[in-house]
Amino acid sequence: MIQRIQSVYLFLAVVVLGLLFFFPLANFSNNQDIIIFSIKGFSRFSPLEQTPTWPLLVVNALSIVLTTVTIFLFKNRPLQIRLTRFALMLNLGFIALTYFVYGDHLAKQIKMPVNYEFGSFLPVIALVFHVLAIYAINKDERLIKSIDRIR
């Protein structure tokens, strides 16, 4: 299971998505205030403190669970491909929420520029790992079909 390269890619995607719980996604700052934005919410005593960030939390948790389940479906490659693609779509949704809904929209709302932190680039790295996993699963599927043709 873990000896297959797609399992390694999927495991790395899970690790990268898990790191989102520890790194801030962005901060909004001007000369007086700094508001830190993470997957768990906004910093205390900010005008955005009541803005819900649970959609980010749910999408990230679903992506982690789905990718983890996909690792163990190594015997069912077509299902593994479909679930990895779905996890990739969830990851794209997370990126869209982070950059467009929470980043740009809220920056305009509170009139403070947004500065993206290391955490905002982690979903892009996970996206690359998902794409590499899909490529490796497809390669594995082609290899199995070619072996079946030889028999």
pLDDT band at 45 (very low <50, low <70, confident <90, very high): low
pLDDT band at 36 (very low <50, low <70, confident <90, very high): confident
pLDDT for res 33? 80
pLDDT band at 84 (very low <50, low <70, confident <90, very high): very high
Q: Which residues contact 57 (CB under 8 A, 6 or more apart)?
A: 39, 40
Please say if the pLDDT value at position 49 is more than 70: no
pLDDT band at 86 (very low <50, low <70, confident <90, very high): very high
> Each residue of 108-136: pLDDT tens digit?
888 888 889 999 999 999 999 999 999 99
In DSSP terms, 114 is beta-bridged to: 28
Please say if the pLDDT value at position 1 is more than 60: no
pTM, rounded to two decimals: 0.87
How remote is the C-alpha of 113 from its chain's centroid? 24
Phi then psi dihedrals of residue 44, to 5 deg: -65, 155
Average pLDDT over residues 20-42: 86
Please give the torsion angle defined by the CA atoms of residues 4, 5, 10 and 15, in that order, rounded to the nearest 10 degrees: 110
Q: Are 117 and 27 in contact (CB under 8 A)?
A: yes
Integer Cα distance of 100 and 48 in angstroms:
16
Domain boundaries, the chain: 5-21+53-150
pLDDT for res 144? 81
